Amino acid sequence: MKYYQALAEKAVFDSEFIVKLTGGRTAAFDIIRNYQKKGYIKKVKHNLYATVSLENSGLIPSKYKIACAINGTAFISHHSAFEYYGFYNQVYNTVYVSSLNRFYPFDFQGNEYQYLQANNEDQVNLLRGVRVSSIERTIVDSIDDVDKIAGTEELLKCIGLVPIVNETFLLDYLKSRASKLLYKKTGYVLSHFKKELHLSDEFFEICLSAGGNVIGYFSHIEKKKLIFNAKWRIYAYDDLMSFIEKKGNLNV
């Protein structure tokens, strides 16, 4: 029990943290084996451990805090970020973790920790001990990866719960992504939430201008159901909001 309090405060840690506590590797690995046997800690994955509460036998760290401890650049993103902020329609058992450093997906206590490649750490904030993408980055990343994560209906419902965004942050992140198609896809989706998110006409003008003459698809999964949108010059749904109104009926 000598080191339990320090481990409880850390909540999720690797072996190096215990080495620093004990002053040696042999002692550290003895502690890890002993504390696992007694149920004080649980192995999350290779060289990652979570502390168990002595009060209720549950884990001290949340799934979000565990995710951020996977490596030094890991952060919560996409639908999991919407969840963390409280802007979600349903809770997933998949925790989406973006990182500059690749890791293999793994399961732990009913949750799958899924790796997503991040090209930068722009707009990654530390909130209540958790590294999480800003709501603006979360929206843009989720639009970009709509085919891979959550899907159109859930994406729209999450965005619909967001009370306001900073359009400067949106544009800054879009600029860092440097994708003409992503400018158009973002403008197309957010034009349906212009009033709710308090977005200016200038924001959409910039999205149109930065998008240039590129033509692409909003979704590759539903290509056959898309039509050409003359304003945004992309293939998109004729009635995007019918996903919510018709509870996800794709025959729009």
Q: What is the pLDDT of residues 3-16, one digit of tens each?
A: 999 999 999 999 99
Crossing angle between the packed helical segments 167-177 and 135-144, to the nearest 10 degrees: 50
Q: How far apart are CA 67 and CA 72, in angstroms?
A: 11
Maximum Cα–Cα distance across the chain: 68
Q: How far apart are CA 148 and CA 139, in angstroms?
A: 14
pLDDT in the model for residue 1: 84
- Kindly give the parts of the chain with pLDDT less than 50: 247-252
> What's the token pair of residue 69?
């401890």
CA dihedral 2, 131, 48, 15 (to 10 degrees): -50
**pLDDT of the residue at 248:** 42
pLDDT at site 69: 97
Q: How far apart are CA 192 and CA 242, in angstroms?
A: 11
Q: Which amino acid is at 109?
A: Q
Q: According to the model, what pLDDT value does residue 245 have?
A: 66
Q: So what's the pLDDT on residue 150?
A: 86
Amino acid letter, residue 232: W
pTM for the whole structure: 0.93
pLDDT at 222: 83
Q: Residues near 23 by Cβ (< 8 Å), separated by ≥ 6? A: none
What is the helix (H) or strand (E) element at residue 130, kind and residue range? strand 130-133
